[in-house]
Amino acid sequence: MSRLVESALRRRGLAALMAAGSLLACAAPASAAAAPTQGQRGVLSEPLPVSKQEVALTFDDGPSPGATPQILALLKSHGAHATFFVLGSELERFPGLGAQEARTGNEVADHGMTHKSLPGLSQARMLYELRATADLIQELTGKPPAFARPPYGNMSQRVLQVARSLHMSVALWSTDTLDWQTPGAATIARRALQGLAPGQIVLMHDGGGPRQQTVQAVREILDALDARGYKAVTLAQLVQDAKPSVAHHMPHRSSPPRPVS
Ligand SMILES: [Zn+2]
């Protein structure tokens, strides 16, 4: 696995250059969350119109050894799945965790290489942030990412265009737990579940800082979803189950995540 990553890095070249800065960038609160852009065409930022009792739990800024394995274990024990918006920088550090996410039927999606806010970047740098991460995901999981989530939820038309040029849809969220503020597991779980309705896209973090509260909250959330007859599915699954009215959100290459052996 590491040889694969190394060769990927050599081919990309730029990655080594970015590595030092990336850790610094990720130390900042992962999502000093700007409110998602509501209703912008082609951006998932509201609950999807699904008829099944399904929600998408999404985790940003990982993978991280402190939280990702525990979240994967909790998902597995509940027969649930989630979408992980990984940072390329963290995928380089923990490629085995990224591969494990995909292997266990979860979805790996693109959060950029170094957690830079995208709209202010040059075209070349913006393309690098999304494409290098997408390439790494493809090499580690055998599958290209269908979704990109710009850091901080900072959007622009150019971000949308670059994501589309890489065959990704832009996905924000409909429910923000603000878990990065570490308000306590109970509060994170309450925020995730308040207004629970089919199609919600819930934002949490499995990297970028201590995430034990999030792990504990995931335990409570999955128990509560089970009790209320809800199922946690990947974003790709949620989009697939949505009514045709959101067809324009569909990524160009959309299929439900399959375990990669
Ligand atoms: Zn983030």
Stretches in the chain below the pLDDT threshold 50: 1-38, 252-261
Angle at 205 between CA 108 and CA 157, to 5 degrees: 65
Q: What is the pLDDT of residue 249?
A: 53
Q: Tell me the domain boundaries of the chain.
A: 2-17+44-244
Residues 84/56, Cβ–Cβ less than 8 Å: no
Locate 181 and state its tokens.
């503020």
- Fold topology of 2-17+44-244: TIM Barrel (3.20.20)
Residue 60 among the catalytic residues: yes
As given in the structure block, the two tokens for residue 222 are 């999955």
Cβ neighbours of residue 162 under 8 Å, at least 6 residues apart? 118, 123, 126, 127, 130
CA of 180 to the centre of ligand 1 (A): 10
Query: Residue 44's beta-bridge partner residues?
Result: 171
Q: What is the pLDDT of residue 120?
A: 96
Ligand 1 centroid vs 66 CA: distance in angstroms?
16
**DSSP-assigned letter for residue 120:** T
pLDDT at residue 243, rounded to an integer: 77
How many angstroms does the Cα of residue 151 sit away from the middle of ligand 1? 5
81, 111, 115, 205: which is the annotated catalytic residue?
205
Q: Which residues, in sequence order, are bridge partners of residue 157?
A: none
Q: How close is the Cα of 130 to the center of ligand 1, in Å?
A: 13
d(CA 3, CA 6): 5
- Active-site residue, selected from the candidate residues 60, 135, 179, 206: 60
Q: Token pair of 159, please?
A: 């971000």
| Known catalytic residue at 61 | no
Residue 29 CA to ligand 1 centre (angstroms): 8
In this predicted structure, what is the pLDDT of residue 14?
A: 33
